[in-house]
Structure 1
Amino acid sequence: MRALLMLFLAALPCLLHARLLQEAEEGFAECNDFFHQGSPPQGFSDPSHARICQRYQGDKHFATLYSPQHKIPVYSAFLYREGADSAQGDWLLEPQLDDPKSSLDEASKGSEQIEGLGTNQAVEEDYASSDYQPGPLFQAAPSVLTNAVPLTQDFKEKWAADVDQLMKEKLLPQCASGGNLHILAGAVPSSDKLKDKVSVPEYVWLAACCSIPEAWSLGVIKKTSAVDDLEQVTVEELESRLPGGVKLFSNQCGGGAVPDGTTSESSTQTDEEEAAKPGAFSRFFQLLFCIVYELVKTVLCFVWFLVKQVLNLVFGRLYWIWTAATTYILALSSVLINIPCDVLQVFANILCGFVRILNNVFSVICLVLRVPTRFLFDMASFPYDTLCAIPDVGIDILSGIWGVVALGFHAVFGVVGGSFSVVSFAGSSIFSRFVGHSEGSEN
């Protein structure tokens, strides 16, 4: 017993530290308590889904199977607790969903510490400038965006009121201990998306399971296109209407429906039952039996946990080997199939290369042949151009000679005219002086 207790204490920190669960981990680790008989729903087998043990302020609050593709939860699992925190205040984010290397292992408000924020989860900016608000699937939980889907204001308020009324009028009165009331709430995405990222749900659903005093269950469905309609169904019918052929509760939670009446069995005891209560000695033995039973149950559960961990390790390794082998075979087959295509592509490239070479050769030949052809044409046209130019050249020569002669005549006439002008001027000057002198003497 001491060895088992030491092993349990040694394994406890590892169990409490996990938040974003890895592929090798089974179920939801320490958050398996939120599921009926510790067994998560079956049939949601998309490998892209992320399993999250939702933790906040050092405590686990609920479990979520999240779809990074649609950026909304597939479902969240809750265990009813009196006085649980309701969704309010700032919206929290899951750091490890976008940054697997983050040291933050619980929901956080510090978005500046998260690398790649919004890659795999919705953020508040995705809801900006739209008619939708982040609406929690179940109100009795912290405000984490991985537990919220896009809802209109009217639908969000109506869904919260419907769930609250369902809890007060049907679920809690019929479950002898609220601590044994397991809640699953989920959404089915439609083709509509906010900013082409966050899927708007086609409908939301809720399933409840109570295992004490008698196992019973129920389900509800609410289409986002019908704000005022809430459809109550059995869990089996709800499972048939969810995609993928899922099983929500282990052993169908007894397969029963909510019993008639609005009061729990503990509040309808008769006077005879009050009188038939056991004495103190009997209650002591009952208490002792319960303690021994719980100890044995705890030990068996822990042993079963160790066995499951070993089996999970073995089968996980086998699965890893099988995955590696199939991946290698598929990759090799793809390469072998692509070889003929690659060979044909190489031959086609070679043929195109030869065609381009021939085209360049012909272009060079045409260029070489074009040069002597033009030269011979110029040589053949030279005599004709020469004879045709003789008259023009003769005319130009005669024009030049006539210009020289005309220039000579102009020069001679210019000299003669200039000389005559000089003589005339000199003669007139002498005559003027002589005539003037004579008139002075007479006077």
Structure 2
Amino acid sequence: MVPNGALFLLLTCFSGLVHGEVAANFSSCLEFFYRNEPPKGITGPEYRHICQLYRNAYRFATLYDSKYRTPLYSAYKLHSPDGKRPKPEWMIEPQLANSKGNKNMMYIENPDQNVKESQAVNDDYKHSGYTRGHLAPSSHQATMDDRNATFTLTNIVPQTATSNNQDWSKFEQKMSARFKNVCKDKLYVITGIIPYKSGEHKIKDRVFIPEYIWSAYCCDDNNVGQDQGKYFRTYAAVGRNDPNSGDDVVEKKKSGYDVKEMPLEELELILKKKLNMNIALFDGHCGAK
């Protein structure tokens, strides 16, 4: 049996195929996945595959659930930023609301009901007690346009402030440092969520709150080998988004928002247990085995 809270990963009711940048697969933006292969095991016509388009260029990819108004994961290639964090307006995905809408993400000051039904809007996060947590973070993107593109609400989950600004942020910084110091070529990253077993954890009775946030990376660099430590070619992590959660996934040690790093295989076993899915995040386990 699948936990009730994980049903939104399986039973989204959104009939028909949507054409354009929101589609039935990631065929337009496979470049953001190792060997052009999206994760296996998280599939089905009910999911919205978004090739995130900003200023007519693809920036990253997101698997999105419109019914529960939350991304399941975002996939991207990590780069070192060439400037400061931007402060753009929070954008939405027009084609989630209307299949004939603009292919580019955009800012809408007063979204209509069609938009609100299909995805999260900025008002959902105001006074909610949660921050807007990036799955594909701005700090892992190269150009200003790349960083601006991460400020779309289809890339955002409700994240506690301590997790977003401290514990999880430190892990993102570690990932950037490892890329600079060791992985000189491409670092593919997939960051996603684990829902609560109960489906009642929502903000504004609209947007589902994750219990955990996870991430895994794959270094596509022939010069990276086992002799360079346990963190390569691939590694993963799970972070707590609730200080009251049990210790079965990540042991509570300090803040309650602790992050546990682990081999890719351990993360996939956690996802299998929590989501009842046989998930393979990187083709061939990123050549690690």
What is the rounded CA distance, in whole Å, between the counterparts of 1:159 and 1:63 in structure 2?
24
Corresponding residue number in structure 2 for 1:212: 221
SS at 1:172 equivalent: helix
Go from structure 1 to structure 2 and tell me whether the alpha carbon gap of 1:159 and 1:136 turns closer, same or farther (over 3 Å shift). farther
Corresponding residue number in structure 2 for 1:101: 100
Deviation string 1:255-306 (CA, Å, 9 cap, x unpaired) is 26xxxxxxxxxxxxxxxxxxxxxxxxxxxxxxxxxxxxxxxxxxxxxxxxxx
> Aligned letter for 1:97?
L
Corresponding residue number in structure 1 for 2:129: 131
Pair 1:250-2:283 in alignment: yes
SS at 1:155 equivalent: helix
Out of 51, 55, 75, the position equivalent to 1:53 is 51
Go from structure 1 to structure 2 and tell me whether the alpha carbon gap of 1:60 and 1:166 turns closer, same or farther (over 3 Å shift). same
- Larger relative contact order (C-alpha < 8 A, sep ≥ 6)? 2
8 Å CA contact 1:99, 1:114 repeated in 2: no
8 Å CA contact 1:139, 1:160 repeated in 2: no
> Aligned letter for 1:95?
P
CA-based RMSD of the aligned residues comes to 2.2
Out of 133, 150, 161, the position equivalent to 1:153 is 161
Pair 1:19-2:21 in alignment: yes
8 Å CA contact 1:98, 1:120 repeated in 2: yes
What is the rounded CA distance, in whole Å, between the counterparts of 2:181 and 2:164 in structure 1?
25
SS at 1:97 equivalent: helix
Deviation string 1:179-230 (CA, Å, 9 cap, x unpaired) is x110101111223111221111010011000020247100000011244411
Go from structure 1 to structure 2 and tell me whether the alpha carbon gap of 1:163 and 1:240 turns closer, same or farther (over 3 Å shift). same
Corresponding residue number in structure 2 for 1:194: 203
Deviation string 1:344-374 (CA, Å, 9 cap, x unpaired) is xxxxxxxxxxxxxxxxxxxxxxxxxxxxxxx
Q: CA deviation at 1:114?
A: 5.9
Corresponding residue number in structure 1 for 2:229: none
8 Å CA contact 1:76, 1:186 repeated in 2: yes
What is the rounded CA distance, in whole Å, between the counterparts of 2:205 and 2:62 in structure 1?
23
Structure 2 unmatched runs, 5+: 1-18, 139-146, 226-232, 244-255
Corresponding residue number in structure 2 for 1:231: 260
> Aligned letter for 1:187?
I
What is the rounded CA distance, in whole Å, between the counterparts of 2:193 and 2:76 in structure 1?
15
Go from structure 1 to structure 2 and tell me whether the alpha carbon gap of 1:43 and 1:111 turns closer, same or farther (over 3 Å shift). farther
What is the rounded CA distance, in whole Å, between the counterparts of 2:68 and 2:29 in structure 1?
23
Corresponding residue number in structure 2 for 1:327: none
Go from structure 1 to structure 2 and tell me whether the alpha carbon gap of 1:147 and 1:169 turns closer, same or farther (over 3 Å shift). same
8 Å CA contact 2:62, 2:74 repeated in 1: yes
Go from structure 1 to structure 2 and tell me whether the alpha carbon gap of 1:113 and 1:73 turns closer, same or farther (over 3 Å shift). closer
SS at 2:174 equivalent: helix
Go from structure 1 to structure 2 and tell me whether the alpha carbon gap of 1:91 and 1:157 turns closer, same or farther (over 3 Å shift). same
Identity of aligned residues (%): 30
SS at 2:22 equivalent: coil
Q: CA deviation at 1:159?
A: 4.5
> Aligned letter for 2:75?
A
Go from structure 1 to structure 2 and tell me whether the alpha carbon gap of 1:238 and 1:135 turns closer, same or farther (over 3 Å shift). same
What is the rounded CA distance, in whole Å, between the counterparts of 2:266 and 2:239 in structure 1?
14
Corresponding residue number in structure 2 for 1:144: 152
Out of 175, 186, 191, the position equivalent to 1:185 is 191
What is the rounded CA distance, in whole Å, between the counterparts of 2:27 and 2:117 in structure 1?
25
SS at 1:53 equivalent: strand
TM-score calculated relative to the size of structure 1? 0.49
Q: Which has the higher helix share?
A: 1
Q: CA deviation at 1:81?
A: 2.8
Corresponding residue number in structure 1 for 2:172: 164
- Tell me the number of residue pairs that the alignment of Structure 1 and Structure 2 aligns: 233
Deviation string 1:21-64 (CA, Å, 9 cap, x unpaired) is 2x3xxx41231000000000011124321000001112111000
SS at 2:216 equivalent: strand
8 Å CA contact 1:138, 1:160 repeated in 2: no
Q: CA deviation at 1:113?
A: 7.2
8 Å CA contact 1:208, 1:217 repeated in 2: yes
Go from structure 1 to structure 2 and tell me whether the alpha carbon gap of 1:68 and 1:113 turns closer, same or farther (over 3 Å shift). closer
Q: CA deviation at 1:69?
A: 2.5
What is the rounded CA distance, in whole Å, between the counterparts of 1:254 and 1:162 in structure 2?
27
Structure 1 unmatched runs, 5+: 1-16, 257-443
What is the rounded CA distance, in whole Å, between the counterparts of 1:92 and 1:254 in structure 2?
36
Q: CA deviation at 1:68?
A: 1.4
Corresponding residue number in structure 1 for 2:13: none
SS at 2:279 equivalent: coil
Corresponding residue number in structure 1 for 2:73: 75
8 Å CA contact 1:155, 1:224 repeated in 2: yes
Go from structure 1 to structure 2 and tell me whether the alpha carbon gap of 1:42 and 1:198 turns closer, same or farther (over 3 Å shift). same
SS at 2:132 equivalent: strand
> Aligned letter for 1:249?
F
Go from structure 1 to structure 2 and tell me whether the alpha carbon gap of 1:150 and 1:169 turns closer, same or farther (over 3 Å shift). same
Query: Once superposed, which parts of structure 1, at least 4 consecutive aligned residues long, lie more than 4 Å away?
Result: 84-87, 111-115
Q: CA deviation at 1:105?
A: 0.6
